Amino acid sequence: MDMSPPIHRWMKDDLDRSVFQKSVTVLAARIPARDTTTLLKSDALRRYIMDVPKIRSVVWDPSGTQGQRLVLLKVPTEAALSPEARILLTEHSAELVDHTIRLNYDYWTADDILQAILPEELLNGSPTGFSVTGHIAHLNLNKEYLPYKKIIGKVILDKNPAIKTVVNKIDNIDNKFRFFKMELLAGEPNFVVEHHESNCRFTFDFSKVYWNSRLHTEHDRLVQLFKPEDVVADVFAGVGPFAIPAARKGCAVLANDLNPDSACFLSTNIVKNNVADLVRASCEDGRDFIRDAIFNVLENPFPPYLGPKPSRLKEKKLRRDRQASERSSQDSVYPLESTLPPRKVVTRFVMNLPDSALDFLDAFRGVMVTRDRIGGELGRLYDAMPMIHCYCFTRELEPVKAEADIRLRVEAKIGHKIEEDVDLHLVRSVAPNKDMYCVSFRLPRPVAFAR
Ligand SMILES: C[S@@+](CC[C@H](N)C(=O)[O-])C[C@H]1O[C@@H](n2cnc3c(N)ncnc32)[C@H](O)[C@@H]1O
């Protein structure tokens, strides 16, 4: 039974959905409706019943005969049925008839339709793979598919109800702020998405800021390492996929991005996710940010961690309860104020700019002595040095060689060996000869206090 769509290889830009029509005639057993279950379950007939996705194998009799149904069969003629099946049908007064199934554009998948449109030499690769960010489907078409990009976009839009916009990446990420240049293939020219990750809501303009849904697992992995009491300095924060989940967990965060659009959406996301008390956004060069972060937190500390953050509703209720109880007793239900000391110490730096983050590491040399007048205080405050989580690429594909390569580059930049709490994590393979890693290490004390 050939259920494939009719071939229309003449289409290129305009998608004519009306030409995708097909009638398929199949053999069917007309049976009394009351016998349907018995026949469907019978060993003799079961293996002959049609089993095609999205097509019902039992339908009302289109001839309108009351109380009759058609069971669609996958054999072409009565002769192909076993004697037992024929006897069973006779016992149930079944009559074999032809039944016509009418298929249209809605029946076929995006792949089916494109296989019927694209030239034969392009049928092997599938252009229907895409990643989804909010309502946007994001394709990365090989150049041989480009003459068909508009029609590919339209088919993907039709076949994915949650998608409202289809774009194609038109360049490698090569601009300073790491976002894709993209062109609209189909749907609304609206690039501001609302995307959900790690139970947080992110709003951003996908055509102006960096976002990569494939980093979801890595964002989660790193945030899981954080303790709620941590103070995190996110040097290349983007629109907040580390910073906001970290703050939801209780961490205090300095989140920075040089792209003004990223910094702007980061600020929006901070408010939308109810973490304005814990995240401070900035828009400066990563090197300046690193050199200022430690003093910023020292001079303007964060409040202490007070336990899991209640939801807005729960917080309102706790405040009400607290006010009520203050009238009767001094005890509070939730410690909205605390006697714990404020958070003055940056415990982690996150540096996700894999192309060049290693080049920023020299900014840590002398980072704790740049403002001499309080340098002494920092020596006492920082009994443990901050952890640095730095992303990078390497062309060494064997783990041992990759580690040696990355270690060498880190140590050359900071001018010191890394020995304490060193960990290397393979994030993903970005190209056949290029892997992305996260190297974590504790900032060596002599580097932070180097003069
Ligand atoms: C690879 S993205 C990572 C964003 C985010 N942390 C994430 O995981 O999705 C790197 C970010 O660094 C920002 N950036 C590029 N150069 C920078 C610089 N010199 N200083 C600060 N931010 C920079 C880009 O705008 C971009 O948002």
pLDDT digits (tens, 9 = 90+) for 75-107: 999 999 999 999 999 999 999 999 999 999 999
Classify residue 195: in a domain, yes or no.
no
Point out the annotated binding site.
219, 257-258, 285-286, 352
Question: Total domain count for the chain?
Answer: 4
If asked whether residues 239 and 311 sit together in one domain, one would say no
For ligand 1, pick from 131, 207, 220, 236 the residue to mutate: most ligand atoms within 8 Å of CB.
Answer: 236
Tokens encoding 12: 């290129």
Indicate which CATH number applies to the domain containing 163.
3.30.300.110
Q: Do strands 68-72 and 21-32 pair parallel, antiparallel, or not at all (unpaired)?
A: antiparallel
Beta bridge partners of 139: 168
Both 181 and 231 in a single domain?
Answer: no
Continuous segment of H or E residues that includes residue 290: helix 286-299
Protein residue with its CA nearest to atom 17 in ligand 1:
258
The pLDDT > 70 percentage for the chain reads 94
In a domain, 5, yes or no: no
* Binding-site positions for S-adenosyl-L-methionine: 219, 257-258, 285-286, 352
Tell me, yes or no, whether 333 and 418 share the same domain: no
CA distance 178 to 236: 11
Distance 386 CA to ligand 1 centre (A): 20
Instruction: Show which of 77, 107, 137 is a domain's final residue.
Output: 107
Say if residue 224 is in the same domain as residue 261.
Answer: yes
* Domain match, 373 and 396 both: yes
- Ligand 1 centre to CA of 33 (Å) is 65
313 versus 266: the higher-pLDDT residue is: 266
Where residue 93 sits, what CATH number does that domain have?
Answer: 3.30.70
62 pLDDT more than 60: yes
Point out the ligand 1 atom lying closest to the alpha carbon of residue 360: 19
Q: Of the candidates 141, 159, 190, which is a domain's last residue?
A: 190
Mean pLDDT for the stretch of residues 231-241: 98
Listed range (79-93, 98-112, 194-208, 329-343) with the worst mean pLDDT: 329-343
Task: Give the residue, out of 210, 219, 284, with the most ligand 1 atoms within 8 A of its beta carbon, to mutate for a pocket test.
Answer: 210
Nearest CA to ligand 1 atom 1: 353
Residues 62, 32 share a domain: yes
* DSSP-H helix ranges across 30-109: 36-41, 43-46, 83-91
Looking at the domain assignment, is residue 16 inside a domain?
Answer: no
Tokens 């690193």 label which residue? 290
Whether the per-residue pLDDT at 333 is higher than 50: the answer is: no
Whether 444 is in a domain gets the answer yes
Mutation choice for ligand 1 from 200, 220, 257, CB with most ligand atoms inside 8 A: 257
What confidence tens digit (pLDDT) does each residue in 157-193 have? 999 999 999 999 987 665 788 788 899 999 999 999 9
In a domain, 140, yes or no: yes
Residue 206 lies in a domain: no
Enclosing domain of residue 140: 110-190
Average pLDDT over residues 201-211: 95
> 311 and 409: one domain?
no
Work out which ligand 1 atom sits closest to the CA atom of 285: 20
pLDDT digits (tens, 9 = 90+) for 383-422: 999 999 999 999 999 999 999 999 999 999 999 999 999 9
Same domain, 365 and 322: no
- Looking at the structure, do residues 97 and 141 belong to the same domain, yes or no? no
Choosing from 107, 142, 163, the residue where a domain stops is 107
In the structure, which protein residues have their CB atom closer than 6 angstroms to any atom of ligand 1?
A: 176-178, 210, 212, 215, 236-238, 241-242, 256-259, 262, 285-286, 352-353
Contact status, residue 271 vs residue 265, Cβ threshold 8 Å = no
Residue 11 domain flag: no
Q: Are residues 180 and 232 in the same domain?
A: no
Are residues 277 and 345 both part of a single domain? yes
Q: In this structure, are 349 and 416 located in the same domain?
A: yes
| Domain membership flag for residue 2 | no
